[in-house]
Each structure stands twice: as C-alpha cells, then as structure tokens.
Amino acid sequence: MPLSLPTTMTHDHVDDTDMVISLSLPMDILQAMSKKIKLQIFLLVSTAALIFSSCGGGTTTQPSTSEPTDGVLRVVADDTQDFDKDRYTAAAGVIEIEYILDGFQFHNLLVEGYEDEMVLEVENGETSTGSISLEPGRYILYCDVAGHRESGMEAQLLVE
C-alpha cells in the first residue's frame, strides 16, 4: 500500500501494523467496490450495446427482402440458373425493373401472362432495365430459356 507508508513513518508512536491495517483496509474495500461497480457498468454498457447492435442489424438487413427504397425492382440472375430471391415485392403502377446478371450465360426475364409487355435480356454480366405496369396482385417472374425456369429461375412477385 504506497498511500499508507508516509503516515506510518511520521507517527512513530502509533503501532505501525495497526495504522497499515486501518488505512489499507478501507482502501482495499473501496478499490474492490469500485472495480466491482466498474465491471457492472461495463457489463451493462456492453449488454446495451449488444441489444442495440442486434436491433440495428435486424432492421438494416430486413428491408433487402422487401421493396427497395428507390422503387426499382432489382432481380439478380446467376449462372447456377437461379434468381437472388424467391420472392420480390413492388409497388403497384409502373414498376421499374433492373435485371442484373451476375455471370455470363444468356438469361431473360418475363412476367407470366405479360410476356408481350416486357422481356429483359442479359448476357456477359450485363444489366438490362425496363418497366411494366402492374395492378396489385401476385405474379410470377421467370426466365424462358429452355430448362432455366425448371432449374430455379422462377420467383414470386407481390405487387401491393
């Protein structure tokens, strides 16, 4: 205990060991208490941070499955003959669609029953854009290249 040393040296008539014990004991308790409090505060803060980060993570990752903020419906196709999602959503009216190819194979994108309205085609990492006017309802997006729809290039489109 470095703090108790000067007091024990100046008061030589007082028993050294008593002074050391009486001075150092409350110090130890205080230090132990403050350490405990600090630990509790640290745990509290880290727990709060964990809750906040998990909440924030949940809200930031969630919107990707729903309607994009800029109103553009993005569909990503890849060479495994699949779309990035099984279900897309869009707002009713004129829907802007961005068909992004994450690969090289030729793919197209059609809305079942509306094949005459829009056909988007991509190849070699291209992005094709188009628009289609749809009423609220459930639609099917697909690629009509032979065998692709069956392989997984089919997705739901919910128009709200």
Each residue of 11-42: b (16+ CB within 10 Å) or e?
A: eeeeeeeebeeebeeeeeeeeeeeeeeeeeee
What the block records as the tokens of 147 is: 């065998």
Q: Which is nearer to Cu ion, 8 or 122 (CB)?
A: 122
Which one of 62-70, 114-122, 126-134, 149-157 is the stretch in contact with Cu ion (CB under 5 A)? 149-157
What x/- string results for residues 101 through 140 when contact with Cu ion is judged by CB under 5 A? ------x---------------------------------
What the block records as the tokens of 89 is: 């959503």
Site residues (CB under 5 A) for Cu ion, limited to 46-85: none
Which one of 45-53, 86-94, 110-118, 143-151 is the stretch in contact with Cu ion (CB under 5 A)? 143-151
Q: Which is nearer to Cu ion, 7 or 105 (CB)?
A: 105
Which one of 7-15, 89-97, 100-108, 126-134 is the stretch in contact with Cu ion (CB under 5 A)? 100-108
Told to check if 141 binds Cu ion by CB under 5 A, we report no
Q: Which of 76, 145, 152, 158 binds Cu ion (CB under 5 A)?
A: 145
**Interface with Cu ion by CB under 5 A: which residues?**
107, 143, 145, 148, 153
